[in-house]
Chains A and B, each alone.
Chain A
Amino acid sequence: MTRCRPDASRCSVGLTSVRTFSAAIALGVIVSAVACTREGEPEPPRGPASAVLPASAGPRATVALDAEDGQWTMPIKSYSAARYSQLGEITTDNVKNLRPAWTFSTSVLRGHEEPPIVVNNTMYVLTPFPNILYALDLTQPGAPKKWQYEPKPQSEAQGVACCDVVNRGPSFADGKIVFNTLDNHVVAVDATTGKEVWKTKVGDINIGETMTMAPLVVKGKVLVGNSGGEMGVRGWLKALDLGSGRLLWTAYSTGPDVDVKIGSRFKAFYPKDQWKDLGVNTWQGEQWKIGGGNVWGWLSYDPQANLVYHGTANPGPWNPDQRPGDNKWTSTLFARDPDTGEAVWALQKSPHDLHDYDGVNEAVLIDVPWKGQTRKALIHPDRNGYVYLMDRMTGEILSAEPFVHITTSRRVNISNGSLEYVPDKKPKVGEVVRDICPASPGGKDWQPSSFSPRTGLLYMPHQNLCEDAEGLEANYIAGTPYVGMNVRMYAGPGGHRGELTAWDPVAARPAWKVTEKFPVWSGTAVTAGDVVFYGTMDGWFKAVDARNGKPLWQYRTGSGIIGQPVTYRGPDGKQYVAVMSGVGGWAGAIVAGNLDPRDSTAALGFAAAMKDLPDATQKGGTLYVFSLP
């Protein structure tokens, strides 16, 4: 564990809270403050403000909790996406005794980003392509297989999946397990019998579409989105009827308002997002038809407001010179009515995205004490390097502070909602622009955070990467990559490539950080025992203290971990923790895809930063389940 260093660019924040620090830290802040009074310095790179906060100091953020049933029925655990379990058998004191209870091989050796889900004493494990669904009987010793369902997706789909053939999980609703297949089918399987209930095709691999996201089921509707931002695929979110699989509505991320489902109820908070048909007018010609904005990330839902929150991905191609304009509604956060798909508000976080900063990361729905009031908020760590705390009713940004080293932008101006880019870091055709931070996977990619109401902290797994980039002219050929960028990535400041950051939403800064050699590409889960679980790409499954990041326990699994940890109460009443081990994904493609790192641009530049991963782990595909003795 390392503690955050005071950062010169954040002296004002540091000074106001100096009194609460220990003398040593206060001295550090003062030194930094003095250092940053020098004027005329060009664009100081932005990094996270620093402080070591006692977890109990002052009013805390919190989250609405349902009654704990000891299950984990969807990847995000609850509609708020907090991934917080109220199970407390495993504590900071006894977690050191955790040991494997049983394991299960998936027979697939690609990146396992999915969580196992647990419903009615059955565990459901969905594999990456070929998307096999296993049901395991938790009531029997060793959890034998009840049945398996094979959707048999088209093998060719593997050729249009940008970043390994991953799947981010199944969801349970109304007796059915629903999930997406790589070849664009949404499937509902009877959770008891394993029989297919319905299977609906919603996309086409021949235009480069795939599906990797975890569906969210809201009010009898299965909400799904497509992937393909690297293939010039137009992004959409669709709702299917949970009973029949019939398509109910489609909301596109680009195009005229009627396609985007922007109508009379739409009220963006900032003027920059208020105008007619911005999904067409912020593009040239018909580029919006191949402009990306895919919905491959996380959805969350506020039942009281009846609003679903989702992000949209990067615009295509990556080469920004080929798509003048703001490119709406790519790299945007939407609030939509799940009944109709209507957009209620939107915020484009990275207009005219320059660096592949998708906007699809999780929006965790929390309640935050803010200037004397409690605000219904969402917290969203974006790829552009800022943690956005927003009013989830209106789309107003309450704060947007950096959580990684940033050279590509100066700040988020919260008075007008705009990201202030640093022009020098804009990629150019035929020129290599260096020291672009964060790199294209952003300060944080898909890997989901968790939030504990006990500490009021958000546990963000993320990376610390910078890159060099060279623009190229991209040709649009349907069903082939539409990128136009040579990229090579490397570790950011400090030399470590991964971090687990505990973010305090109220103070808008990290409470503590753990650094990791490799990007932390797994999700996190946090429990009432104040234990945070996550995995590393060299195969360690770890538990740290939610209050201070102190390492408590670790176990070396067979392959790198990029999955989402879950915890549940077994039929025997004991608390279990489960995670998939199987390296891959964009970060682990070098191992899963046998890539050759002599080419620094392999895996869109990620392989360059992961040259030593093949020495640290092997391919795998195993579920690990842990419990106390």
Chain B
Amino acid sequence: MRRLPKGRQLVLCAAAATLVATLGACQREQRRFRESPPSTSPSAVRVSALQPGTVQDTTHAAGPYDNVAYHVSEGQRLFGWYNCAGCHANGGGGMGPPLMDDEWIYGSAPEQIYNTIVQGRPNGMPSFAGKVPTSQVWQLVAYVRSLSAQNSTGARTSRADHMMMYPGSGSLQDPEKPVKSFRPPGAEMP
């Protein structure tokens, strides 16, 4: 094996050190490569904020996959795969309610969304208990929360501009106020 001259070794070392230092400075997403999927489902999840008398607890635990880009992306794939998109479209809703706005009938916390998927809800949300594995439910939870920008920007999935009225109008990165007066391009045809 050919040895590099001393000077070059030094330069390489310095470069490597700089690289390590730079990477260390970045706030990277938490990425666990070997992880046992969450197997337990949340218990005793409140769906109502109203607690008669003393408020006992209002905190909600974070979803295990909320800020992991891979899982959010998997959640997006499963959202189509399990036909969630058939009812909720790409977040705007249809047969089911929209998921990209700030209205949450049964709560927006991860374990509330988890329970909505698993238990179902009486006004039309089917129960997927026993049909979708726990870890995939959590991936779906992470994606659903990303639709309304409830997780970190870095973990969110890419935009689907090709189906949008104009670039960014349906951006999943930056939910914005609807532009209602917009006239679509087709309207200008002779």
Chain A residues with CB under 8 Å of chain B are: 155-163, 230, 432, 435, 466, 468, 470, 472, 474-475, 477, 479-483, 486, 488, 490-495, 589, 593-604, 607-609, 611-612, 614-615
Contacts and interface: CB of A to CB of B under 8 A. Distances in A.
A493 B126 CA distance: 40
Interface residues of B, number: 47
Interface string B174-190: 01101111111111111
Nearest to A604: B94
A519 to B, nearest CB: 14
A617 B182 CA distance: 17
Contact of B95 (A160, A609, A615): A160
A488 B89 contact: no
A241 B123 CA distance: 32
B184 A609 contact: yes
A230 B96 CA distance: 13
Nearest to B185: A490
A466 B87 contact: no
Interface in B60-81: 80-81
B87 A159 contact: yes
Nearest to B190: A493
CB-CB nearest 8 A-B residue pairs: A481-B86, A159-B124, A599-B92, A602-B92, A490-B184, A495-B187, A596-B98, A480-B83
Interface centre among A475, A493, A595 (most CB of B within 10 A): A595
B170 A490 contact: no
Nearest to B80: A472
Contacts of B186: 435, 466, 490-492
B164 interface: yes
A601 B163 contact: yes
18 contacts: A156-B120, A156-B124, A158-B123, A159-B95, A161-B95, A475-B82, A475-B83, A481-B83, A483-B86, A490-B186, A491-B183, A492-B186, A495-B183, A595-B94, A596-B100, A596-B101, A599-B91, A602-B92
B169 interface: yes
B185 A432 contact: no
A41 to B, nearest CB: 15
Contact of B163 (A435, A468, A481, A603): A468
Given A608-B165, A611-B182, A598 B92 contact: yes
A598 B93 CA distance: 10
Nearest to A610: B180
Contacts of B126: 156, 159, 479-480
Q: Is the interface of B mostly helix, strand, loop or mixed?
A: loop
Contacts of B85: 481
A597 B89 contact: no
A475 B81 contact: yes
A475 B103 CA distance: 29
B93 A600 contact: no
Contacts of B120: 156
A146 B18 CA distance: 85
Nearest to B125: A159
B188 A600 contact: no
A159 B94 contact: no
A602 B178 contact: no
B139 to A, nearest CB: 16
B3 interface: no
A615 B180 contact: yes
Given A477-B83, A598-B178, A607-B92, A155 B123 contact: yes
Contacts of B124: 155-161
Contacts of B94: 589, 593, 595, 602-604, 607
B151 interface: no
A481 B87 contact: yes
B107 interface: no
Nearest to A472: B80
Contact of A490 (B83, B86, B87, B187): B187
Contacts of A230: 86, 95
Contacts of A609: 184
Nearest to B93: A595
A576 B169 CA distance: 47
Interface string B137-180: 00000000000000000000000001111000110000110111
B95 A598 contact: no
Contact of B92 (A155, A162, A480, A595): A595
B52 interface: no
B108 interface: no
Interface in B18-37: none
B88 to A, nearest CB: 9
Given A481-B83, A488-B164, 11 more contacts: A155-B124, A475-B82, A480-B86, A480-B87, A488-B163, A491-B184, A593-B93, A599-B100, A602-B90, A603-B89, A611-B179
Contacts of A602: 89-94, 98
A558 to B, nearest CB: 21
B184 to A, nearest CB: 3
A269 to B, nearest CB: 36
Given A155-B123, A475-B83, A594-B103, A601 B89 contact: yes
A474 B126 CA distance: 18
A113 B181 CA distance: 27
Contacts of B100: 596, 598-599
A205 B169 CA distance: 35
Most buried by B among A160, A162, A472, A598: A598
A608 B103 contact: no
Contact of B165 (A475, A488, A493, A612): A488
Given A601-B163, A602-B92, A155 B122 contact: yes
Contacts of A493: 189-190
Contact of B90 (A163, A468, A475, A486): A486
Given A159-B126, A598-B100, A598-B169, A470 B162 contact: yes
A483 B90 CA distance: 13
A482 B86 CA distance: 7
A138 B183 CA distance: 45
A296 to B, nearest CB: 15
A475 B170 CA distance: 25
B98 A594 contact: yes
A502 to B, nearest CB: 23
